[in-house]
């Protein structure tokens, strides 16, 4: 099977558990969105709070750490054209220390919280957003479907 995700680490140790989860998550996302016939893939950076804070400040002008950032490479109208080439769909940056804290705070597993960050980021790369109520409902429904298929209900 071809590689769906390219994972790198910034400020944290490499972790096979995260890589296995990411591969399962994106395999499920690609199946759900019927993307297997295309050459696109996802870039994921797993990082710490200092690094994600710098990125958040640089690109969003928000001077604080956050759980996940997504940087799509294409506008939603361009995705179909991008599917024809070997292209990165975009970057998802996940702050592992925040994922761990949120798992405790929301009383679910670290695996579930990490998977949710990846699914959430994936749908941002696909052009979904949650700024308006109607858009948020569409995005959440897609996220819930994928998490349910992974056995990680919200």
Lowest mean pLDDT among 18-27, 93-102, 122-131: 122-131
State percent of the chain over pLDDT 90: 74
Q: Which residue from 67, 44, 46 is spatially nearest to 56, judged by alpha carbons?
A: 67
Question: Domains in the chain, start-ordered, CATH in brackets?
Answer: 5-149 (3.40.390.30)
Query: Tokens standing for 80?
Result: 């179909």
Which pTM was predicted?
0.92
Query: Tokens standing for 42?
Result: 């996802």
How does pLDDT run across 43-97, given as a tens digit for each residue? 999 999 999 999 999 999 999 999 999 999 888 777 777 666 778 899 999 999 9
pLDDT band per the 50, 70, 90 thresholds, residue 19? very high
């Amino acid at each position: 099977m071809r590689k769906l995700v390219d994972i790198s680490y910034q400020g944290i140790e490499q972790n096979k558990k995260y890589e296995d989860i990411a591969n399962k998550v994106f395999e499920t996302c690609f199946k759900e969105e019927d993307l297997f016939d295309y050459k696109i893939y996802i870039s994921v950076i797993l990082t710490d709070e200092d690094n994600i804070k710098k990125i958040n400040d640089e690109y969003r002008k928000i001077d604080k750490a956050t759980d996940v950032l997504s940087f799509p490479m294409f506008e939603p109208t361009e995705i179909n054209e991008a599917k024809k080439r070997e292209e990165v769909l975009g970057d998802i940056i996940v702050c592992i220390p925040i994922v761990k804290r949120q798992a405790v705070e929301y009383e679910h597993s670290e695996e579930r919280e990490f998977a949710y960050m990846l699914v959430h980021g994936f749908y941002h790369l696909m052009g979904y957003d949650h700024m308006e109520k109607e858009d948020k409902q569409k995005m959440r429904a897609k996220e819930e479907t994928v998490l349910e298929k992974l056995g990680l209900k919200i």
